[in-house]
Structure 1
Amino acid sequence: MRTSRSPHTSGRWRRAGSTAVATSALVLAGLGTAVHATAATPDHVSAKAVATAVAKAHVQYESACDATPKKGYAACNALRVTGGTTAFMEKQAALKGMTAKTLKPNASSASPTGYGPSDLQSAYGLTSASASNGSGETIAIVDAYDDPNAAADLATYRSYYGLPACTTANGCFKKVSQTGSTTSLPTADSGWAGEISLDLDMVSAIAPNAKILLVEASSSSMANLGKAVNEAVTLGAKFVSNSYGGSESSSDTSYDSSYFNHPGVAITVSAGDEGYGAEYPAASKYVTAVGGTKLSTSSTSRGWTESVWKTSSTEGTGSGCSSYDAKPSWQTDTGCTKRMIADVSAVADPATGVSVYDSYGSDGTGWNTYGGTSASSPIIASVYALAGTPGSSDYPAQYPYEDTTALNDVTSGNNGTCSTSYFCTAKSGYDGPTGLGTPAGLGAFTG
């Protein structure tokens, strides 16, 4: 998720940076290209080789919306690697005794090269966690503007990975405007389309039997995005993912009550992709703020290892102590007297990114590898859906705090410099960049 750094009373809301590695991507939630891997793949590549590969990767921000967003709006920036090789690509090529293929700017892949459904399910203990795979639940995705190819691209992704068809015809997929209309949709936008594809594909990967509701706001203003959240809840979604954000402002508490106070609904929000710093609506006390990690295969019993996602001083997962939002009762860290970001986390590093299919991107279409907390937010919303419908009066953001043993504690890495160490540096137990950790099954997401 990428977000505006100017107050959202004075800046357009950005999609939670989608980072795409050498394929089409948006500045929403980092998208990036990588070779398909499995948990059983041994880790044969040295840290030096991985670091070298990361250094070779060229990350570029593309914006299909305003370069300098207007006040009160989220910016439209997707992060993607447009040249060189990523650490993930370098590693997977080495495991196969091959040389990693250099990525060409604006190039899309003919086949997926990032993590797919089986990888993500393995990494987060979901392979046999829910026999229903989300059946009977509706997961909503809130984004701005229209992706005219959303249904077709979703079908391509699901077909490739052998997932059940999810179409309008079979009642699995529905696309509406912020007013609930299926015919009067917002203006199409190639910048936000990549974000939409990322969100839909991550829901498919984690909860393949769930229904998917895409609610498209008429613009990227907080008012319209907020109305889209309310519409998603009105239409029955108990799980709502938001991959956008902006700098905090004094208006946040009013936005909380107007758009995010929905007991009985698990609302997830990307923590941001610009490194250390609190953002909204991740700072809302009513939502689950989702940070980002670097996810790699390993020789551990889990088969995977994670650290804080940080690509550079200006790119990495968001975190921080809110300046405006009150601390929810279940959050007990003592260094921040107000709301602390994040609560939990999932993969977001574009160098170890997820595969996404998008045919309406601003440049380069086809298979992409994305990253950013725009990937981690829909992943966590979908894990909530696997865990079952929340209690009608519950705020599901509380659930992980009630069972921290069902999370993978992330203890290494940082997303910047801060005066209170855990605000920006991972440690045992709670920390800002990764919260309480990443899913290890469904226990931490069940009321």
Structure 2
Amino acid sequence: MRTAPPTPSSNRSSTRASWRRIGASAFATATLVFAGLGTAVHASAAPAAATKTAKSASSKVTWARSCATPKKKGEMACNALRVTGGITAFQKANAHADAVTPKAADAGSPSGYGPSDLQSAYGLADAASSNGSGETIAIVDAYDDPNAESDLAAYRSYYGLSDCTTDNGCFTKVSQTGSTTSLPTADSGWAGEISLDLDMASAICPNCNITLVEAKSSSMANLGTAVNEAVKLGAKYVSNSYGGSESSSDTTYDSSYFKHAGVAITVSAGDEGYGAEYPAASRYVTSVGGTALSTSSNSRGWAEKVWNTSSTEGTGSGCSSYDVKPSWQTDTGCSKRMIADVSAVADPATGVSVYDTYGDGTGWATYGGTSASAPIIAGVYALAGTPGSSDYPAQYPYNAAGTSALNDVTSGSNGSCTTSYFCTAKSGYDGPTGWGTPAGIDAFTG
């Protein structure tokens, strides 16, 4: 485990360009006020959820759901949450370092954690600088983001990451059929999700290639087809930042879309607090929960707890109603698949910086939700190296359980449950955070 303390202010550099771009679509603003937040939603229209309010003694943050609520059975919700106001943990840390009063950032500068912060928090700085070349992370989302490549270029340039473009072969965007020209309909909500996913994959594995596979809709059938296409194109790491209610069809989806030996598939655990979602419940994927991440005076330099605001707002977890328990999962309270396996930052109040001009038209924004944690973990798998050809890499963190290769998250809960560890963090395995967060790459290799 790395012990160097974090320096959030190091993300600012006198040599950085100031990026400000105007997108083609305004961002809808159904907002919620609190310190650590979130409910998953999606659609091709603007969000139309009722506004709620909550208060925290430590901070006040407003956020908007990136996607609208699904309208049909079988549609998936994207799990991206965009901060619209208030002071994030990143801004507070920088204000403390600079001895100035924190203020909300405008679209001209980041206001969330950047690559150096995330690499420090998860002990990845050395691996990120030397690993990942030749590896491909696939990002699977619904609909098209017309600005995906240019927004990714702005993010990577600001943080000093190498170019990742179509021209140099690092970035590829295709439809669920593999076409580079016949792409889905553009969608402003899912564009924010796409930017978040691309930026987090870049932050963790800057040397990796990235393939964005866009499904023509948010149905599980189309998203699953996009997963299959990602694997067909050679990706060994596939990130999925969406979810929906479980159904009796899930076991069929498992074998049709997610049963890919030798491929690390990560899936967001959800943003609606305690309760199982699919495809996080698939026995073939790594389900990724969410934490609140803050700087600390401890030897690690960082501290984490379960991300939660209320019983319906926070990281997902729970015991599946349908999916079979994988052989490597040995908790005794759940006879079927238990969510989650591991976790990473997801609380919008301790959120990550993202550059997006099509989703909200502003450029820099701060995002949270388990949409952030899923691509982070996909990036860690990529740093760890190609999985064994017959392996299901969801097992790897279980092989390292209880070791220094994972940061055990032991505080917080995401709701009320009759079996304590389903919703409450404890020493060792628990539902909201799994076995914990990365402490280097050792827990993610066979």
TM-score normalised to the size of structure 2? 0.85
SS at match of 1:318: strand
Matches within 5 A, 1:51-90: 51-54=56-59, 56-61=60-65, 63=67, 65=68, 67=69, 69-75=71-77, 78-90=80-92
Change (3 A) 1:21 1:366: farther
Question: Which amino acid letter does the alignment assign opposite residue 281 of structure 1?
Answer: P
Contact 1:21/1:80 (<8 A) preserved: no
1:185-334 aligned within 5 A: 185-334=183-332
**Residue 74 of structure 1: CA displacement?**
1.5
Alignment-mate amino acid for residue 432 of structure 1 = G
> Quick one: structure 1 residues 303 and 285, their matched pair in 2 at CA, closer, same or farther if it must change by over 3 Å?
same
CA distance in 2, matches of 1:60, 1:329: 39
Per-residue deviation, 1:403? 1.1
Find the counterpart in structure 1 of residue 435 from structure 2: 436
Return 112-121 or 84-93, whichever deviates more.
84-93
**Equivalent residue letter for 2:156:** R
Identity, in percent, stands at 78
**Separation (CA, whole Å) in 2 of partners of 1:430 and 1:192:** 32
Q: Post-superposition shift, 1:142?
A: 0.1
1:284-318 Cα shifts (integer Å, max 9, x gaps): 00000000011111111111111101123321100
Cα distance in 1 between the residues matched to 2:291 and 2:284: 23
Cα 1:76–1:233, aligned 2, differ >3 Å: closer, same or farther? closer
Preserved CA contact (<8 Å) 1:20 1:26: no
Q: Secondary structure at the match of 2:332?
A: coil
The answer to whether the 8 A contact 2:40-2:270 is kept is: no
Distance 2:351 2:34 in 1: 8
Distance in 1 between residues matched to 2:125 and 2:173, nearest whole Å: 28
Matches within 5 A, 1:376-391: 376-391=373-388
In structure 2, C-alpha distance between the alignment counterparts of 1:408 and 1:320, rounded to whole Å: 21
Q: Which amino acid counterpart does residue 372 of structure 2 have in structure 1?
A: A
TM alignment of 1:96-135, pairs within 5 A: 96-102=98-104, 108-129=106-127, 131-135=129-133
Distance 1:84 1:205, change over 3 A: closer
Cα gap change, 1:265/1:73 in structure 2, threshold over 3 Å: closer, same or farther?
same
Distance across 2 between alignment mates of 1:28 and 1:356: 19
Whether 1:401 aligns to 2:389 is: no
1:348 Cα deviation after fit: 0.5
TM-aligned CA deviation for residue 53 of structure 1: 3.9
**Corresponding residue SS for 1:153:** helix
Residues in 2 aligned to 1:116 and 1:426: alpha-carbon distance in whole angstroms? 26
1:151-174 residue CA offsets vs partner (Å, 9 max, x unmatched): 000000000011010000000000
The equivalent of 2:167 in structure 1 is 169
Residue 122 and residue 167 in structure 1: after superposition, are their counterparts in 2 closer, same or farther (change >3 A)?
same
**How far is the alpha carbon of 1:109 from its aligned partner?**
2.0
Tell me, yes or no, if the aligned pair for 1:20 and 1:369 is still in contact at 8 Å.
no
Distance 1:75 1:214 in 2: 18
**Amino acid paired to 2:367:** Y
For the structure 1 residues 430 and 439, does the alpha-carbon distance in structure 2 shift closer, same or farther, using more than 3 Å as the test? same
Summarize the Cα distance change of 1:76–1:387 in structure 2 as closer, same or farther, 3 Å threshold.
Answer: closer
Counterparts of 1:365 and 1:20, CA distance in 2: 20
1:17-58 superposed Cα distances (whole Å, 9 cap, x missing partner)? xx9999xx99669xxxxxxxxxxxxxxxxxxxx95343x223
Q: Deviation at 1:126?
A: 0.7
Distance in 1 between the 2:352 and 2:408 partners?
21
Per-residue CA deviation, residues 331-371 of structure 1 (Å, 9 max, x unaligned), is 0100000000000000111111111000101x342101111
Distance in 1 (alpha carbons) for counterparts of 2:219 and 2:320: 21
CA distance in 1, matches of 2:77, 2:275: 17
TM-score by length of 1: 0.85
Partner of 1:219, secondary structure, is coil
Contact 1:28-1:243 within 8 A present in 2 as well = no
Q: Which residue number corresponds to residue 147 of structure 1?
A: 145
CA displacement, residues 388-410 of structure 1 (integer Å, 9 cap, x when unaligned): 00000000000010012110000
The yes-or-no answer on 1:184 pairing with 2:186 is: no
- Give the count of matched residue pairs: 400
User: How far 1:120 sits from its partner (Å)?
Assistant: 0.6
Judged with a 3 Å threshold, the aligned counterparts in structure 2 of structure 1 residues 157 and 124 are, in CA distance, closer, same or farther, namely: same
